[in-house]
Structure 1
Amino acid sequence: MKILLVLCRPVLSLLLLGLGWGCTEKKAVPSRKALNELSLKAGRRLSCGPAEPKLGSVQFPVSCGATTQADFNLGLKLLHSFEYDEAEKVFAAILYRQPDCRMAYWGVAMSNFHPLWTPPAEPELRKGAAALKLAQTLPASSPREADYVAALTAFYQDWATVAHPTRCLRFEQAMQKLAAKYPTDTEATVLYALALTAAASPTDTTYARQKKAGTILSALYAGNPAHPGVVHYLIHAYDTPTLASLAVPAARQYASLAPSSAHALHMPSHIFTRLGMWQECIASNLASVSSAQCYAEQAGIEGHWDEELHGLDYLTYAYLQIGDNARARQQWEYLKTIRTVSPVNFKVAYAFAAIPARYVLENKQWPDAARLQSHAADFPWPQYPWQAAMLHFTRLLGAARTADQPGAEAELRELTRLHDELVRQKDDYKARQVAVQLTTGQAWIKLMQGKNQEALTLMTQAAEQEDATEKHPVTPSELLPARELLGDMLLALRQPANALVAYEASLRKHPNRFNGVYGAGRAAEESGNQAKARRYYRHLLSFTQPTGSARPELQAARDFLTKQVALQAVGAPRLPWPEAEKNRPSYDRNTP
């Protein structure tokens, strides 16, 4: 054996130089059985929109051969628009033709990561980790491809024992090194920007990572205006109140850049919602919902695709902000017909809870809010405590506003239980969101009990809690902004000047919200600031476009403006607030 080894070394030194392998056996290409064990998505790739699929432009050279390059680029374009199922189909097809294509395994693992959505479920984590393990059994075709696989492995490694946020930070650090190592590699830089946004903490209101990602992507944009990842991730990076205006050009471009993606049609509405651009938001989600319905039909999905419900939530919210109760109610009535959705996930639970809750809360239909039930009674709500909490929060506010103390306290206990469950699950972000609802609920119960100062203290705390945490990107907004609710409470306690301060602070974060603008107008009117009241009421009338019966706030705004014109014409004095308030109608409505 020693002689053999001595002889082997010089011979193999030559072989190592000429053939690239040594005494160890060359690693085998994964078998068909190994591929089948990944349970890869397969079948005809589905696409709605233009006859010729349009998803933007990506060029990412891989070492899998010229015949594979176009397919790999297609998979990457789908990946950049979060069409994860279709992307996996493309990468799977490559692997079944060419099981030694290392980067296709990387593509499968990226398709199961979805950095800006909810954390991958266990089956997705298993699949992604297994795909990367197979990639690592292959000889490295290039150091660059090996580095890509290693960077993504930083996320999947020890997934069963290491928390998702920690692994996102590891992925960010790995992509930073990769982008620095290959400065001319556009994809490395784009994915580093994505990793930055994915690793951003929802409690960091300086938005340090998002700003860094936005700066990186903005620099790339000039040379890559048709790159779906550059445009898409710019929207995500700037999806915050203080940064949203920077993403308007990207938002206006993305849908036309990738109209074959339902998500690309929807995504601009994140920015439009942030800026109160309601007509643009409506148009975006009408297109997205239609595309999602088309996709479900093509895919043979039983029932509805989850992306459709996501669009419906944004659509309902936008209709409510323009005072269009008729069309907002249409979305709710349509939602009631939806029984089966695929896949069942975070977005579906959110839409089932938020759409009906938004309608009754925005319209201040407190008796209806107090008895609100989801039509999806058989939905697995215990798996989604945050979304279930929205229904209980709605009922709590309804009970408190209708002086039903036992009902309000029962809902408060249920909210407490759900909050504790999220704490037990170590889901800090959602636990904080429910904590805001808990504090808000306690505040309105105190107000119902006549404990006004305690109520204001609690409601102020709730507003501060909410201000310290960014909303989740899947949502168009909180059910009701806490600071806007603080304004409502201050108005109820006849402190209109303070209420105006609260409404204006809320509007800086939630521009063009119907109730925020109306509340500011009413608070200005009641505090004697006629010029500001005129400005807010005129602004409310400028962006609202109701169909059917109009919301009474709009008539109140028109009446005020008409009286102001009349008073100015005759030089008559304005009625003092208590006298004017006697004739003001109630806007707590009990019917749709």
Structure 2
Amino acid sequence: MIKIGRPIHLVLFTLITLTGFSCSEKKQSLLQADINELNLKRGALISCGPKDKQFGTVQFDISCSRKVKDEFNLALSLLHSFEYDEAEKAFTKIVDVQPECAMSYWGIAMSNFHPLWTPPSVAELKKGAKAIDIAQALTEKTERETDYINAIASFYDHWENIDHRTRCQSFERAMEKLQAKYPNDKEASIFYALALDAAADPADKTYKKQKKAGSILSSIYPNEPNHPGIIHYLIHTYDYPELAYLALPAARKYASVAPSSAHALHMPSHIFTRLGLWDECIASNQASIAAAQCYAKSAGMNGHWDEELHGLDYLEYAYLQKKENDLAKRQWDYLNTITKVFPDNFKVAYAFAAVPSRYVLENKLWIEAATLKIHPVDFPWQDYPWQKAILHFTRLLGNVHLGKLDSANTELKSLYQLHSDLLAQKDAYKANQVQIQITIAEAWIKLQEANIKEAIRLMSLAANMEDSTEKHPVTPGEVLPARELLGDMWLQLNKPQKALEAYEADLQKHPNRYNGLYGAYLSATKTGDQQKANYYYQQLAQVADLTKPVRLEQTTMRY
């Protein structure tokens, strides 16, 4: 209480002080309420790599107190390797120490973005948008930090009404402006390159945005050889058949730069897969899967981590190309023991659908394909129409090759419905992928109906459609390439020269695929081109152990 009779200047000073203190307390209380509403991830950093937690080297200047700068750089290293949960925990640690640090909320928003993975969930979008609201309201930040915050805000702006791709394009434009404003800021350039990759059109075969991103990253790399983002994004940037060779040095280095990241152990296999380097792909994913299993155990998950299934899909693909059927079957058997994965997302659904489908289709086990069961049955398949379509596509091909056209047409109707669902969701890319499956299916049904001309027309159309777009970054490749299937069809029609042309064209996009090489070898043999037959036989011998039991199609030719 202020006593009467005190000098007026002291009374005023006391009132001002008390009022100021009250406002400060109120602001802190409101800020803490906003932080609580974010429901942030917290806890000790989990890493299953080297004990000293090696995630690469990142330096990012922020205006927050010196005591949180090392933690910020660690969080940023995690973010660059897509260790999103751990990155959020690291940024949250900064929030708990210095809640007025605006860039920590930027980091939380970035951790919920994951631009080259599955789009954020509604919960992640709400968290990211709320984090940005807090960051924008805080006044203690530099102009540069404000620009970074506003750039990611462009992604979250009106997320309820604007689709993911359009918001990725908004982020790209914002990062372009930021990079132009701060040309000497290497992080601005690196994140701009990431934004270019995220906004790239899968149907753009000129790779305009990817090449621009690659040029930016390559210019920074010599002075930042241990920066995880540069190496990582170079791999994503060049994850295309025509460009993959450019990323091979980065692919062979990334795991040594960030060995504590399960994703860094896996990511090089994208390039190894593109180039048909199966032994390196297998080693990469074995290490990644082991790290992911360790992570799930360390995190106390009552199940498996999504990164493990992502690695399993790539490992299955590589084993099949080496004709390691026993090892490939072992992965499928193991997958069948998995019922709970955290979190449920796009790549988990893809692995559940693709691993069994790859095994039966690559081996042309049509009975098993026709009767393939959905696993797990309680997985939210309704949320993933494209992945569910893979299972119907597999069963359809099984039935059509067994001559069961009624069952095949039933599966085709399911594909039509899933295609319509994706169109309703305005997901043009995935709808197009299902349309390719539909066209393939219709082609093989027409072949069974002896409408050869229409079968070839449709199968050629499917191959051209697939060639005009790109696989999703999450996947190692289509469960069966359309142009390889065109080769199979020509071979079944006893047109080996046409078949050879199709196989050779497909091998340009999918080098060292076992079935493609075998199809080319068989076609060349049937045309009497012994030189080409010998060439493809030697290629097969380099890829796989030819002393192992042959596959079904190599003895019975059941196409």
For Structure 1 versus Structure 2, the TM-score category normalised by the shorter chain is: over 0.9
- Does the Cα contact within 8 Å between 1:366 and 1:397 map onto a contact in 2? yes
Partner of 1:368: 368
- 1:128-527 to 2 correspondences below 5 Å: 128-527=128-527
Partner of 1:588: 558
Distance 2:162 2:24 in 1: 34
Distance 2:343 2:457 in 1: 42
Q: CA deviation at 1:137?
A: 1.0
Partner of 1:108: 108
Q: CA deviation at 1:296?
A: 0.2
Matching residue's letter, 1:156: Y
Given the superposition, is the C-alpha separation of residues 547 and 77 from structure 1 closer, same or farther in structure 2, using an over 3 Å criterion? farther
Distance 2:487 2:315 in 1: 26
Distance 2:309 2:151 in 1: 34
- Does the Cα contact within 8 Å between 2:372 and 2:391 map onto a contact in 1? yes
Partner of 2:64: 64
Distance 2:175 2:140 in 1: 19
**1:89 correspondence with 2:89:** yes
- Does the Cα contact within 8 Å between 1:483 and 1:502 map onto a contact in 2? yes
Given the superposition, is the C-alpha separation of residues 168 and 27 from structure 1 closer, same or farther in structure 2, using an over 3 Å criterion? farther
Distance 1:552 1:338 in 2: 28
- Does the Cα contact within 8 Å between 2:101 and 2:140 map onto a contact in 1? no
For the residue of structure 2 that corresponds to 1:37, the secondary structure is: helix
Partner of 1:581: none
Q: CA deviation at 1:223?
A: 0.6
- 1:39-58 to 2 correspondences below 5 Å: 39-58=39-58
Matching residue's letter, 1:272: F
| Bigger mean CA offset, 380-389 vs 370-379 | 370-379
Per-residue CA shift, 1:2-24, capped at 9, x if unaligned? xxxxxxxxxxxxxxxxxxx9xx9
Per-residue CA shift, 1:44-99, capped at 9, x if unaligned? 11111101100000000111111110000000000000000000001111101111
- Does the Cα contact within 8 Å between 2:40 and 2:89 map onto a contact in 1? yes
- Does the Cα contact within 8 Å between 1:75 and 1:87 map onto a contact in 2? yes
Q: CA deviation at 1:548?
A: 6.5
Q: CA deviation at 1:162?
A: 1.3
- Does the Cα contact within 8 Å between 2:483 and 2:503 map onto a contact in 1? yes
- Does the Cα contact within 8 Å between 1:372 and 1:391 map onto a contact in 2? yes
Per-residue CA shift, 1:434-471, capped at 9, x if unaligned? 00000000000000111111100000000011111100
- Does the Cα contact within 8 Å between 1:28 and 1:137 map onto a contact in 2? no
Distance 2:156 2:92 in 1: 19
- Does the Cα contact within 8 Å between 1:496 and 1:523 map onto a contact in 2? yes
Distance 2:384 2:465 in 1: 22
Given the superposition, is the C-alpha separation of residues 522 and 546 from structure 1 closer, same or farther in structure 2, using an over 3 Å criterion? closer
Per-residue CA shift, 1:358-391, capped at 9, x if unaligned? 0000001111111111231121111111001000
- Does the Cα contact within 8 Å between 1:487 and 1:502 map onto a contact in 2? yes
Q: CA deviation at 1:339?
A: 1.0
- Does the Cα contact within 8 Å between 1:71 and 1:94 map onto a contact in 2? yes
Distance 1:422 1:34 in 2: 36
Distance 1:153 1:47 in 2: 30
For the residue of structure 2 that corresponds to 1:31, the secondary structure is: helix
Matching residue's letter, 2:80: H
For the residue of structure 2 that corresponds to 1:222, the secondary structure is: helix
- Does the Cα contact within 8 Å between 1:27 and 1:139 map onto a contact in 2? no
- Does the Cα contact within 8 Å between 1:324 and 1:547 map onto a contact in 2? no
Identity of aligned residues (%): 59
Q: Which runs of 5+ in 2 are unaligned?
A: 1-19
Partner of 2:530: 530
Matching residue's letter, 2:370: A
Q: CA deviation at 1:283?
A: 0.2
Distance 1:336 1:548 in 2: 26
Q: CA deviation at 1:26?
A: 12
- Does the Cα contact within 8 Å between 1:326 and 1:549 map onto a contact in 2? no
Distance 2:547 2:328 in 1: 10
Per-residue CA shift, 1:153-205, capped at 9, x if unaligned? 11111111112111111111110111111111110000000000000011111
Per-residue CA shift, 1:531-588, capped at 9, x if unaligned? 00110011101111479745367xx6xxxxxxxxxxxxxxxxxxxxxxxxxxxx3143
Distance 2:367 2:449 in 1: 18
TM-align CA RMSD: 1.6
Q: CA deviation at 1:330?
A: 0.4
Given the superposition, is the C-alpha separation of residues 452 and 75 from structure 1 closer, same or farther in structure 2, using an over 3 Å criterion? same
Distance 2:402 2:552 in 1: 20
Partner of 1:578: none
Partner of 1:570: none
Distance 2:233 2:558 in 1: 41
For the residue of structure 1 that corresponds to 2:139, the secondary structure is: coil
Partner of 1:98: 98
Q: CA deviation at 1:402?
A: 0.7
For the residue of structure 1 that corresponds to 2:38, the secondary structure is: coil
TM-score where L is the length of structure 1: 0.89
Matching residue's letter, 2:42: A
Q: CA deviation at 1:509?
A: 0.3
Partner of 1:577: none
Given the superposition, is the C-alpha separation of residues 299 and 528 from structure 1 closer, same or farther in structure 2, using an over 3 Å criterion? same
Per-residue CA shift, 1:331-352, capped at 9, x if unaligned? 0000011011111111111111
Distance 2:542 2:240 in 1: 24
Given the superposition, is the C-alpha separation of residues 394 and 367 from structure 1 closer, same or farther in structure 2, using an over 3 Å criterion? same
Distance 1:27 1:359 in 2: 61
Count of equivalent residues: 537
Q: CA deviation at 1:230?
A: 0.3
Matching residue's letter, 1:32: Q
Distance 2:129 2:512 in 1: 45
Distance 1:520 1:53 in 2: 47
Partner of 1:582: none
TM-score where L is the length of structure 2: 0.94
- Does the Cα contact within 8 Å between 2:60 and 2:187 map onto a contact in 1? yes
Distance 1:322 1:342 in 2: 30
Distance 1:457 1:375 in 2: 34
Distance 2:38 2:305 in 1: 24
